[in-house]
Amino acid sequence: MSKRVLTTESGAPVADNQNSASAGVGGPLLLQDQHLLEKLARFNRERIPERVVHARGSGAYGYFEVTDDVTGFTYADFLNTVGKRTEVFLRFSTVADSLGGADAVRDPRGFAVKFYTEEGNYDLVGNNTPVFFIKDPIKFPDFIHSQKRDPFTGRQEPDNVWDFWAHAPEATHQVTWLMGDRGIPASYRHMNGYGSHTYQWTNADGEAFFVKYHFKTNQGIRCLSSEQAAEIAGKDPNSHQTDLLQAIERGVNPSWTLYVQLMPAAEAADYRFNPFDLTKVWPHKDYPLRRVGRLVLDRNPDNVFAEVEQAAFSPNNFVPGIGPSPDKMLQGRLFAYADAHRYRLGVNHTQLAVNAPKATVVNNYGRDGFMATNAQGRHAKNYEPNSYDGPVETGRPLSAPLAVTGHTGTHEAPLHTKDDDFFQAGELYRLMSAEEKSRLIANIAGGLSQVSRDDVIEKNLAHFHAADPEYGKRVEDAVRALRED
C-alpha cells in the first residue's frame, strides 16, 4: 500500500521535510519556503492561556445511565426514563498548580461533567470535596492568589496560604477535609465527585426541590500519604493521567454511582444550616442519599489538546428542569466560566467538537466572531422575531421561580440556627479514626509550622480550637514541637 502524502496546511504535497530551501548549497534560507515558514509559525502559536485555576487535568468520554426514577423531582429530559443513556465528557483536574505541575499533590480535585443531552449540554462543574473554602465569590481571586505562586518569590508560600485561612474562619471545614486522608487521592478513579453547591430541580408540576449531587466511586476510595505522594510526584508527575489513560485503554472502565440529596424548597428557610452555604454539608440523616444513575467512562480522547485543553465547562449551562439556587458562590460562578472561555478559547468555543451539543443542534441568532464555523444554513436569519420561520422561544420556565425579599446591599450570608464556621469542621474531626486524626494533625502542623509570623499561626490555631478543643490542642502542640526543633 502506498503511503499517504505529507501536505502543507492547505493540502499541497510537501517535497522535503528534512532540508530547508536555501540560496545555493551553503547559502541563507529562502523566504519562499512556505513549508518551513508555516511550520515554524504554527509551532510558535501552539500554546493558549492555561486555565487560571484547574490548569492540569485529564479527560475521558463515556455515558450516564438512569437507574432510578426521579421524575417526581425534575422534568429534566435526560433523567426522565430508567435505562436512558446520555453521552458525557468528564474532565478531572488539580486546582492550584500550573499545567506543568504534578498530579500527586495535596489539593482538591476538579470533577467536571458535560452531559450531552437532547435538550442541550448540561455542565455539572464540581470537585471531589462536598464543601469549599469560602462562601462569597468576591473572595475567590484573593483566595486563589494566596494559594498559587507569590508574585515576588515565584513559589507557593506557606505564609500566604495560611494568612488567607487566618482571615477566613469559614475555611476551617474544608481545610480539615483537605489536610485529612482524602486530601491526596491515589488517582482520579479512586475518588468521589460532588456538585458541592446546592442546585434546584423542578418537576413537571412546577414544584421546586433543592438538590446536592454525589458521585460515589465504584473503584473504592484510595488515598496517598504525604510521603507516598511526594515520591510518586517525583517519579511520574503525570501519575493520574497515566492511571486514567491506561485503565480505559485496557478496558477497565471506571464508573461512579450518582446519588442526590433532595430538600423540598419550602424546608430551606427553616433548615438548621443555611442550605446555600458552600462551606456546609447537609447531614445524610437530615436528607438521605437517593440513587439516580451510573456514570461510566469508556473512551479516551484522541487528542489531549483539542478535547481536554479546549474543553469548556460552565456552571450556567443548565437544561430545562435544573437551575441555580441562591448560593452566592454558585451565582458568582455563573458569570466566571463562560467569561474565562471567551478569553481562553474565543467567542466561538461552543462550536468546538468537545463543547458543541451532540444530541441536539444549536438554533439561534448568534453569529460571526473569530473562527466562526456554524453558519446555521443559508436561509437562517440572524435576527428575531422574523417572518421566516426562524427558531422561537418555548415560553416554558427552565426552573421554578424563587421568592426574594429585602433590600439590595453587600449582605453577609444569612445564618440559620446551627450555623457557625466551626461546628461541621469539629464534626468531621470527631468522625475520624485515631490514626486519621494523627495524620491530619501532622499534615496541618507540617504546613502551619513553616509560617513566619506568630500572629498568623495563632489565628489559625484559634480556628482549630473552636472546631474542637482536642483538635486545637493537638495542632498547637504539634506546631510548637516542630518550631522548637
Residues that bind ligand HEM (CB under 6 A): 51-54, 57, 91, 93, 110, 112, 125-127, 132, 137, 140, 196, 311-313, 329, 332-333, 336-337, 340-341, 344
- For the residues of 71-93, what is the DSSP string, one character each? TTT---GGGSSTT-EEEEEEEEE
Known binding residue 337? Answer is: yes
Q: Clarify whether 127 is annotated catalytic.
A: yes
**C-beta closer to ligand HEM: residue 140 or 380:** 140
How far apart are the C-alpha atoms of 220 and 282, rounded to whole Å?
Answer: 22
Residue tagged active-site, from 17, 19, 44, 54? 54
* 202 close to 72: Cβ distance less than 8 angstroms: no
Q: Give the chain's length.
A: 485
**C-beta closer to ligand HEM: residue 336 or 380:** 336
C-alpha cell recorded at residue 481: 514541637
**C-beta closer to ligand HEM: residue 103 or 468:** 103
**C-beta closer to ligand HEM: residue 127 or 424:** 127
How far apart are the C-alpha atoms of 8 and 68, rounded to whole Å?
Answer: 52
Give the shortest CB-479-to-ligand HEM separation in angstroms: 28
Q: Clarify whether 355 is annotated catalytic.
A: no
Give the shortest CB-131-to-ligand HEM separation in angstroms: 9
**Cβ-proximal residue to ligand HEM, closest one:** 110
User: Which residue has 454558585 as its cell numbers?
Assistant: 330
* 120 close to 78: Cβ distance less than 8 angstroms: no
* CA distances in angstroms from 462 to 73, 110, 133, 138, listed in the order given: 42, 30, 17, 24
Residue 211 φ/ψ, nearest 5 degrees? -140, 140
Give the shortest CB-476-to-ligand HEM separation in angstroms: 30
Give the shortest CB-117-to-ligand HEM separation in angstroms: 19
Residue tagged active-site, from 35, 121, 127, 190? 127
- Closest by CA to 109, choosing from 97, 121, 117, is 97
Give the shortest CB-132-to-ligand HEM separation in angstroms: 4
The one-character DSSP state at 2 is P
**C-beta closer to ligand HEM: residue 110 or 185:** 110
* 253 close to 296: Cβ distance less than 8 angstroms: yes
158-166 and 140-147 are packed helices; what angle lies between their axes, rounded to 10 degrees?
Answer: 150
Residue 43 φ/ψ, nearest 5 degrees? -55, -40
User: Across-strand partners of 61?
Assistant: 89, 299
Catalytic (active-site) positions: 54, 127
Annotated binding site for heme: 337
Binding residues: 337
